Amino acid sequence: MTAGSKVIDGKVLAGQVRQKVRDFVPAFVEKTSIIPGLAVVLVGDDAASQVYVASKGKAARECGLNSFEHILPQNTSSSDLLALIATLNADKTVHGILVQMPLPAHLNEYEIIQAIDPKKDVDGLTLTNVGKVGSGHLEDAFVPCTPAGCMLMIEQIHGKDLSSLNAIVIGRSILVGKPVANLLLLANATVTIAHSRTASLPEICSTMDIIVAAVGRPQMIRADWIGRSTPRGPTIIDVGINRIDAPERGPGKTRLVGDVDFNDVEPFAGAITPVPGGVGPMTIAILMANTLRAACIATGEPTPRF
């Protein structure tokens, strides 16, 4: 058992990333006469998505970026959405394009995402960017925002070189699991990719130095999954965002929890992210950084490192 785990404050680290963007933008604008622009497209009236879009727009404006928000009705056709993306692809004031997921059921998410110009794909989901990340060509690639944020958190604890460390990623999605695994490999970690059907998962986790939980099951990882072989304990990055009933707060009330049972696991972790306030703030901060990088690449200017 550790003497006290280090809780990784995502709000603080995200604030540092956003401040770096904010500090970089004025000189970029003075030199190029161009304000980096982020276009976010929302289809439908999903309440959670509306909150996310508003948060991204506010963050962009606070960082000195232009924010273009396109709110489309629920019944928007595929052809109309593709036409908007084509317009944004051609718009020189727009450097980053993000289509808020999930889309309504009648729209093909794969088709829509692949229509985005890879040079403006600040969410890192086009096949071009997926391939660049998978093959280690990061200089002109856009890494998905959540995985990039996870890696910055891990670097806070272990540095950039993860040689000799064993890491497990629980989850295999194209949005988080697979890109996090690729980034860990590029940092020289020895990586295991697992998922909800992996046999003996608690035993495997107990041997790990780094655990990234991105499986979408509330409080799945408990204290008996955490190894005791070292006095430090593993670094645990909890990507999960799950809403569960909270009767202690009153009838019908809910609360957010991660894929890790924080209170159960925290005493045995060397470092751990909370939910909320961990990975979540990093996602928007990296989106701002990716938008700035997109503008730099588009104008041939040096890109800042985060």
Tokens coding 90: 């051609």
User: What is the spatial distance between Cα 74 and Cα 12, in angstroms, rounded to a whole number?
Assistant: 36
Strands annotated E in 119-249? 166-170, 190-194, 210-213, 235-238, 242-245
Closest CA to 212 of 156, 264, 269, 150: 150
Residue carrying structure tokens 């976010």: 40
What sign results for the dihedral spanned by CA atoms 134, 120, 126, 184?
A: positive
Strand 254-257 with 242-245, pairing: antiparallel
Catalytic machinery residues? 56, 100, 123
- Give the DSSP letter of residue 223: G
